[in-house]
Structure 1
Amino acid sequence: MARLAVMAQFDPRGTLGPHVRRQVEALAGAVDELVVVSTSELTDEARRFLSGHSRLVERDNTGYDFFSYKTGLDGSDLDRFDEVTITNDSYVAVTDPSRVYAAMAAREADFWGLTETDRVKHHVQSFFVTFRRPALESETFRAFWADLEVLDQRSQVIRRYEVGLSRKLYRAGLRSAAYFTETDRDREVGRRRVRWWALRRTGMPRGRDDVALLRKRAREPWNPSAGLADRALDGGRLPYVKLDTLRYDPYGLDAGRLLDLCEQTHPAAFDRVRGFMADTARFYPPRPAEVLRPVPVAARPLRRFVEYGRA
């Protein structure tokens, strides 16, 4: 099976994190052609490394990852490939992509990813999506990339492009699948962690409006990248850990503990990742809309039922 991968890469320093180098090497070994589209002002050494493992394309830093995907796809002959993957450098891979491709070869789907989520609407998460011939040959797929516009807001990109791509393909009758399959236990833990997040996001309710908001948030779908991130410790069943999960701890589940456990369980994959995060922390300030409230005193005993590596 002939495969192409298009990887969106950005590093504000112009260099490459150690996990990105490993990701590039692993992808290059798993596909027939790897295209890296970089929006960094690359150092000479980083440019040599990427050029030695891929077809490197450099472009201005506009349009988020989706315009890097579009650039790589537009510059490739998609008719040559049975599967085409779009991915980025936003995660640490704990499972080799060759193993992922081999496992997914037996799954019936027109496009697939590492994970799916019901947040906003059901969709394949866009940091790794693979399209097979029925999707590649569809007018919907071609029109999506042809109509792509530069958007300035991350939330717009998520809704219109990450969620929107899957929704358009679903409406065209195409089927999706995901490498990570949630168990009943995963779903139980995911729901419990969403309730914990809802409490940390809303605070202890002081009136009817607070109670209504807390209940609404507690019913939201979970994002497996954050809500089930520690399933990466379970033999790489979740095949990645998102750097944003480690940086921002969006569910308040002790990301520091998660990083410690990842270094113990996957020492090769996480070699020097902690240093990379420290070196780049200044470029990734807290997101005001995602800041959590302190744990209410009455809820502190519940922490051990939700934290990474405990639930």
Structure 2
Amino acid sequence: MQNSGYFKFRAFLWHLKQKLPYVRRREYAVMAQRYEQALLAFMAKPSMATDAGFTVVHQRADVAGEATSAGRDLCLFVSYAPQPTVKAHVLHHIQAFRQEGFEVILILNSPHAAETFTLDPALVVACEAICVRENTGLDFAAWAHAVDHFKLGTVELDRVVLANDSIIGPVSQPAFKALVDRVRASKSDVIGLTENWAPRWHLQSFFLVFQREALQRGLFAQAMASIQNLPNKDLVIDVYETHFTLAMKAQGLRCEALFEADPHNLYKANSIYYRWASLMERGFPYLKVSVLAEGQHNPAVRAALPAEMLQAWEREQVKPK
């Protein structure tokens, strides 16, 4: 059994390597591979986000007009549906948005046909529209497709939130209300919950808010109109998530992270993954699904969520026979 001194020494070496002014061979190999993937993807001329199959399975009278008129807040919520159902934590999250006055359009990226889906009546009540989309291009393409389909670039809104199912929560409605109050009080034009400094500074895309300035100047709609169906998650992160914030700043928009990264540890700045407990202590009302999946037997991780939310997630992990 190795003693604690060994692990402390390993930790010291790791932190030292993070501060050295060169790229390690393993990281260089990963970067080179991702560059090659990007080059091949764009040589293949990926399709536009709006070229995917898109079926509206539920819609209120006039989503692009009366239902999203001036003075309203809208959430575009994307969820991956490997089965023709909607995850329990997605319904919970949408209901939390609804309770704070948001209208919600749900886009389900799925390999299943729209007619095979079973929708919870509570979900139908909570959503202005529910759409089933061909599973291509991931979240950015799904958001872009919904913006185009519902002509949201022409609708006067106070703010639009882009959200996805990679976080589970909110852990309580009061915590979520406090978060929404901070968003509504902010003077920034683009707001993220968390920021990441790798490979460049950006707001993380699991929860992005675009306020009136970004919407009225048409910058949000313009950005969405350029989104293509990139073939994998790495490319979507490299091309869209890590560049999106800087592109907004270049247009003169003010960008803000509500939960700033640890300034002393910028080389490991993915706080939602590495420092989830500290974030939640500061009022962050979510747990990353990947943290839950990897730490589902860790008592601290399990205690971070309400029991009924944890149990619902665990039931969904049992694969149908």
Judge same fold: TM > 0.5, yes or no.
Answer: yes
- Counterpart CA distance in 1 for 2:297 and 2:91 is 25
* Residue 176 (structure 1) aligned with residue 246 (structure 2): no
Aligned length: 242
Aligned partner letter, 2:314 = G
* Residue 50 (structure 1) aligned with residue 123 (structure 2): yes
Q: What secondary structure does 1:102 align onto?
A: helix
| 8 Å Cα contact 1:36-1:50 kept in structure 2 | no
Q: Shift of residue 53 of structure 1? A: 1.6
Which residue of structure 1 lines up, in the alignment, with residue 12 of structure 2? Answer: none
* Residue 231 (structure 1) aligned with residue 231 (structure 2): no
After TM superposition, the structure 1 = structure 2 runs for residues 202-281 of structure 1, keeping only pairs within 5 Å, are 220-234=267-281, 237-248=283-294, 255-256=295-296, 258=298, 260-268=299-307, 270-276=309-315, 278-279=317-318
**Identity of counterpart residues, as a percentage?**
24
Which residue of structure 2 lines up, in the alignment, with residue 19 of structure 1? Answer: 89
Structure 1 residue runs without a partner (length 5+): 192-218, 249-254, 282-311
| 8 Å Cα contact 1:262-1:270 kept in structure 2 | no
Q: Shift of residue 47 of structure 1? A: 5.9
Name the CA shift for 1:17/1:227 in 2 (closer, same or farther; >3 Å): same
| 8 Å Cα contact 2:84-2:117 kept in structure 1 | no
1:247-270 per-position Cα deviation (integer Å, ceiling 9, x unaligned): 35xxxxxx3465x32433432573
| 8 Å Cα contact 1:19-1:269 kept in structure 2 | no
Aligned partner letter, 1:270 = M
Q: What secondary structure does 2:253 align onto?
A: coil
- Counterpart CA distance in 1 for 2:243 and 2:152 is 24
Name the CA shift for 1:225/1:91 in 2 (closer, same or farther; >3 Å): same
Aligned partner letter, 2:136 = T
- Counterpart CA distance in 2 for 1:59 and 1:137 is 27
Aligned partner letter, 1:31 = G
| 8 Å Cα contact 1:233-1:261 kept in structure 2 | no
Q: Shift of residue 69 of structure 1? A: 0.6
Name the CA shift for 1:257/1:47 in 2 (closer, same or farther; >3 Å): closer
* Residue 65 (structure 1) aligned with residue 139 (structure 2): yes
TM-score in terms of structure 1 length: 0.69
Which residue of structure 2 lines up, in the alignment, with residue 10 of structure 1? Answer: 80
- Alignment match of 1:28 (pick from 94, 98, 111): 98
Q: Shift of residue 63 of structure 1? A: 1.0
Q: Shift of residue 176 of structure 1? A: 1.2
- Counterpart CA distance in 2 for 1:23 and 1:49 is 12
- Counterpart CA distance in 2 for 1:19 and 1:145 is 26
Name the CA shift for 1:143/1:104 in 2 (closer, same or farther; >3 Å): closer
- Counterpart CA distance in 1 for 2:134 and 2:105 is 16
- Counterpart CA distance in 2 for 1:274 and 1:10 is 15
- Counterpart CA distance in 2 for 1:270 and 1:32 is 22
Q: What secondary structure does 1:113 align onto?
A: strand
Cα RMSD over matched residues?
2.7
